[in-house]
Amino acid sequence: MVRYRILQFINAITIRHAPPLPNEAVLLLSQKELALFQRMSAFDRHHSLTVYLELASRRPNSVHLLKAALLHDVGKGRPSVLHRTILVLAKALIPQHLTSWNRYSRHGFRGQIYSLSQHANESASFLYLAGSHKRVIELVSHQETPFDADSRLLAEVDSRC
Ligand SMILES: [Fe+2]
Ligand SMILES: [Fe+2]
């Protein structure tokens, strides 16, 4: 896990461009969903595409799962490497403090880290406003609290990509 996080950190620093979405992925998304995908950082677009490609190879006909793979992180905004790193460290070392940071303003550093930790809900809210299918929203909102086979598969692949 430590090795994975170090590699992820190096990726976050070095990725400036994500490869374009393959046509079959573009065709899965509505215009609004595609706009949400495109507004993510290059790091998150690259990560989401990697999750999508692995799930597409294993479950090519699971349309809702594949859409969730592409869109599960649209609520992250565009966090800096520092914010991503602090979140990883806070989750591992001081999870109880992280929970209490909900009292801080989203304009301050701790409030921003808390907000990033809640990106599953933020992503689901964006997708609700974009008119996404309720199953896609359900999978996205449970990306860190999987409850069935599809959501467990998404969480497992997400944690490795
Ligand atoms: Fe996520
Ligand atoms: Fe993710």
What is the CA(120)–ligand 1 centre distance, in A?
6
Structural domains of the chain ordered from first start: 2-160 (1.10.3210)
pLDDT on residue 12: 67
pLDDT on residue 121: 96
66 touches 52 (CB < 8 A): yes
Nearest ligand for residue 143 CA: 1
Angle made by CA atoms 69, 26, 123, in degrees to the nearest 5: 40
Residues 6+ apart with CB under 8 A from 87: 79, 98, 113, 116, 117
Structure tokens at 161: 């990509």
Per-residue pLDDT of the chain (161 residues; tens, 9 = 90+): 667 767 776 776 677 888 899 999 999 999 999 999 999 999 999 999 999 999 999 999 999 999 999 999 999 988 888 998 899 899 889 988 998 999 999 899 999 999 999 999 999 999 999 999 999 999 999 999 999 999 999 999 999 99
Protein residues with C-beta less than 5 angstroms from the ion ligand 1: 73
pLDDT on residue 14: 74
Nearest ligand for residue 48 CA: 2
What is the CA(24)–ligand 1 centre distance, in A?
22
pLDDT on residue 66: 98
